[in-house]
Amino acid sequence: MNRAVLIFGLLLAIALPLSLLAGRVWLWPDATPNAAIILAELRLPRALLAVIVGAGLGAAGATMQGYLRNPLADPGLFGIAPGAALGAVVALWFGYTASAWLLPLFALLGAGGAMALLAAIAGRTGGIALFTLAGLMVASLAGALTALAISMAPNAFAMSEIVLWLNGALTDRSWREVTLAAPLVGLGVLLLWRTGKPLDALTLGEPVARSLGVNTGALLWMLIAGIGLTVGASVAVAGIIGFVGLIVPHLVRPLTDSRPSQLIVPSALAGALLVLVADSAVRVLPFVTELRLGIALSLLGAPFFLWLLIRMRRGPA
Amino acid sequence: MMLAARNLSIGDRLHDVSLALEPGQITAICGPNGAGKSTLLEALAGLLPPEDGAVDLGDSNLATLHPRDRAQRIGYLPQTHEIAWDVPVRSLVELGRMPHGDTRAEPVDAAISALDLRPLENRRAQSLSGGETARVLLARVLAGEPAWILADEPLAALDIGHQLALLRHLRAAADDGAGVLLVLHDLAHAMNCADRVIVLNEGRLAADGEPQAALDVSTLQSVWNIDARWIGADGKRALIAL
């Protein structure tokens, strides 16, 4: 176990119980009326969902950067999150939100569609450049279709629902979302964790990785499945929450020896911590309506990205 | 364990190349730009599937060998010195153990010592000079204890001191029984350091034999289109263009 796992694991263990108390109304188990119900039905599932979503996005980001050998890579760039969002938008467009399962189901279908498209275009050859281009194409296609859905929304209510949902949030989530996301993200993180060693070999370039016995085609499939599950499930239950996958590996890397395999588990823990803390913060901030988590993380993430670019101009990241 | 190509053809780049390489020797592949040297090396490393013909490693066809088994026997060193992340030197060398599924200290330490990397062991990749990086990447290959070492222009971008040092390390590996196959641009290095030279031209075998025979003036004329002659004693020859 490396140092980063210990540090982020410990911080998460401290932050999780604290986050249960934080909110517009601070919860004091002895003093607050109905504290047990609030805790069990609202705060705990929301905190766990933050942990699940964050862990999935963090692990996906670390793996993506390892695969593309690029510290600026983010799983959101590769079509799966926009694909999932498109699926959810279709559900909202048709008003399928009456059944609580339909929206996440549509989002998962969207993620699956994006994954299938990505695999069909890039999966056969296993080439990184083709994979990147295919991902960008899938992302822009899904983005365009989402924009089309918004512009042709059947009524103003559906339009506002869609726009609001696209700015991801964990507000009013319940155990239902937790039970939906947990197994999918868990399986996804497991798959991503298994890509660690091949990603280490990829540090020396694709030909060397292949000469070391890495099956780059199988690696790509595992990566698509792992990112599809983690990011798809995250978008299905929380909407678009960007930048976590980009930021988190950078927080983790200085605490490790920079090998991609050493980043995946700590990035899952750090992602969980970041989303948990950010979600607690948006609950506490004294705004009239709660700041959407997706917006808050983008406000944090975009300047971070710019800072990263400036730092990279001066030297290696 | 012999490494052999049987009537190997790949697209426009390689036409009907047959050769059998012996372990315990340094073999140099030479030829002008675009002659198919890197293609031949990649095919012999099992990284490029032949369109026609086959590559044999011992009694097995390389194409039917499990990638891990192939990787245990053939170490490949590409021309580029790409290291994407700032990882410690020892971790890089340990990557050579990947086909064996371990990070056994003994072969890793042996490779680090063989290339005089002890003082650099705990340094990070991005703090290394070009010569140091080349040594680390060769140590990565040696740590896998492969029967064959295939290197694509391993001397490119190195100064003469580092070139000679790297060749000494490769000679030591050949003396230990490994087969060493190098793509070399510098004909003097091929002449002085290789036991055998294979000359490719336009994807075909143009010459194959001991360096003096394979790189004689008529081959230099017909393949490289230069008038040149060799001067100096055996093992210390230099090429003079006329």
- Average pLDDT of chain B, as a whole number: 94
Averages of pLDDT over each 10 residues, chain A, 317 residues: 91 94 78 79 92 97 92 81 91 77 87 85 69 86 92 86 86 88 96 97 95 92 90 91 92 94 97 95 82 88 86 67
Residue A254 Cα, gap to closest chain B Cα (Å):
10
Domains of chain B are 3-241 (3.40.50.300)
**Mean per-residue pLDDT, B207-214:** 96
What distance in Å separates the CA atoms of residue A169 and residue B62, rounded to the nearest whole number?
53
Is A213 close to B78, i.e. CB distance below 8 A? no
DSSP result, A4-62: HHHHHHHHHHHHHHHHHH-SSS---TTTSTTHHHIIIIIIHHHHHHHHHHHHHHHHHHH
pLDDT band, residue B162 (cuts 50/70/90) = confident
Question: Which pLDDT belongs to residue A126?
Answer: 57
Which of B85, B141, B145 is the best residue to mutate to test the A interface, defined by the most A CB atoms within 10 Å of its own CB? B85
Q: Which of B46, B80, B85 shows the shortest C-beta gap to A259? A: B85
Is B78 close to A259, i.e. CB distance below 8 A? no
Domains of chain A are 3-314 (1.10.3470.10)
Question: Which pLDDT belongs to residue A308?
Answer: 82
Q: Name the residue of chain A whose CA is nearest to B102's CA.
A: A197
* A to B CB pairs, distance under 8 Å: 72
**Mean per-residue pLDDT, B51-61:** 95
Question: Which pLDDT belongs to residue A315?
Answer: 62
**Mean per-residue pLDDT, B214-234:** 94
Instruction: Provide the whole-model pTM.
Output: 0.90
Which of A212, A252, A255 is the best residue to mutate to test the B interface, defined by the most B CB atoms within 10 Å of its own CB? A212
Q: Name the residue of chain A whose CA is nearest to B151's CA.
A: A208
DSSP result, chain B: --EEEEEEEETTTEEEEEEEE-TTSEEEEE-STTSSHHHHHHHHTTSS--SEEEEEETTEEGGGS-HHHHHHHEEEE-SS----S--BHHHHHHGGGGGGT---HHHHHHHHHHTT-GGGTTSBGGG--HHHHHHHHHHHHHHT--SEEEEESTTTT--HHHHHHHHHHHHHHHHTT-EEEEE-S-HHHHHHH-SEEEEEETTEEEEEESHHHHT-HHHIIIII---EEEESSTTS-EEEE-
Q: Name the residue of chain B whose CA is nearest to A212's CA.
A: B71
A214 chain-B contacts, CB cut-off 8 A: 67, 98
Residues in chain A: 317
A255 chain-B contacts, CB cut-off 8 A: none
Q: Which of B67, B77, B87 shows the shortest C-beta gap to A259? A: B87
B85 chain-A contacts, CB cut-off 8 A: 69, 203, 258-260
Q: Can you tell me the ipTM of this complex?
A: 0.92
A69 chain-B contacts, CB cut-off 8 A: 84-85
pLDDT in tens, B122-152: 999 999 998 899 999 999 999 999 999 999 9
Question: Which pLDDT belongs to residue A156?
Answer: 86
Residue B233 Cα, gap to closest chain A Cα (Å):
38
Residue B100 Cα, gap to closest chain A Cα (Å):
9
Residue A310 Cα, gap to closest chain B Cα (Å):
18
Is B84 close to A316, i.e. CB distance below 8 A? no
